[in-house]
Structure 1
Amino acid sequence: MRWEKRVADWRWRHGTSESLAEECVVFDAFTLDSLGKGGVSMDAVKRTYRIVVACGTGIATSTHVALKLKEMLAERGKDRVEIVQCRVPEIPAYAEDADAVVSTAQVPYELSVPVFTSAIAFLTGIGMEELVDEIAAKLDENMSAT
């Protein structure tokens, strides 16, 4: 059953809001799948990706990168993206709960998530599509590994 139909059916049966219905469908899919009862594959469940976007001050450049990245990931089917903007020194504090780090500057830390330091492409436009493709592929790869 398609995702939208499952959410609509849940809302109709339980009289809940769309966001609560989505959460319940995710829970149902996970529970049925984990119990081996033929539930929806977890691959079919929409996942929220968490991405840290960093620049020198965590204000202007990271805002531009965050907005463009979110827009371009949505074009690739990843429309549930949470982005945290920060300064480079703050990256370790946010990275442990993230799926990826995207930065306009070098990241001098060893992190357990993929780090993309070529975010300057979002400012120049050169190599931007390729970078977003690389980020999307890494998000997919990490999701299938979990």
Structure 2
Amino acid sequence: MASQRILVICGTGVATSTVVVTKIREFCASKGLDATITQGKVADTLRGNLNADFIVATTQVPDSVGIPVIAGLPFLTGMGLDKVYAEIEKQFE
């Protein structure tokens, strides 16, 4: 499995994305997945030239980003989290 660059996006790039980054880091470590995880705010996606293989977002991301976007809201609600983890793991295939 290849290493993946994951960009975690929330509205402001601070609190919510920090929580999600921690959970994704723990998940990747538990599965032996090699990932570089960074965080940012939704405005970062408008600039283009994203240094990521895919995005996990807790907010709406423009369709124009050009890379896969995984809905990260289940990290906050706890509902549907298994599906999100499966989607993340699939990105490593």
**Greater relative CO, 1 or 2 (CA 8 Å, sep 6+):** 2
Q: Does 1:59 align with 2:11?
A: no
Q: Percent identity?
A: 38
- SS of residue matched to 1:84: strand
Which aligned pairs between 1:26-41 and structure 2 lie closer than 5 A?
Answer: none
Aligned length: 93
Which aligned pairs between 1:98-109 and structure 2 lie closer than 5 A?
Answer: 98-109=52-63
Query: Which digits, 9 at most, give the CA deviation of each residue in 1:44-64, with x for residues without a partner?
Result: xxx432110010110000000
Structure 2 counterpart of 1:135:
88
- SS of residue matched to 2:67: coil
Give 1:95 deviation, angstroms: 5.7
Q: CA RMSD in A?
A: 1.8
Q: Does 1:124 align with 2:85?
A: no
Measure the CA separation in 2 of the matches of 1:84 and 1:94: 16
Measure the CA separation in 1 of the matches of 2:20 and 2:50: 21
Mean CA deviation greater in 90-99 or 55-64: 90-99
Q: Which amino acid aligns with 2:80?
A: G
TM-score, reference length from structure 2:
0.85
Q: Does 1:96 align with 2:42?
A: no
Structure 1 counterpart of 2:27:
72
In structure 2, the CA distance between the partners of 1:95 and 1:77, relative to structure 1 (3 Å rule), is farther
Bigger strand fraction: 2
Q: Does 1:115 align with 2:69?
A: yes
Verify the 8 A CA contact 1:95 1:113 in the aligned structure 2.
Answer: no
Q: Show structure 1 runs of 4+ deviating over 2 A.
A: 91-97
In structure 2, the CA distance between the partners of 1:95 and 1:105, relative to structure 1 (3 Å rule), is farther
- SS of residue matched to 2:91: helix
Give 1:93 deviation, angstroms: 4.5
Give 1:75 deviation, angstroms: 1.9
In structure 2, the CA distance between the partners of 1:64 and 1:50, relative to structure 1 (3 Å rule), is same
Bigger helix fraction: 1
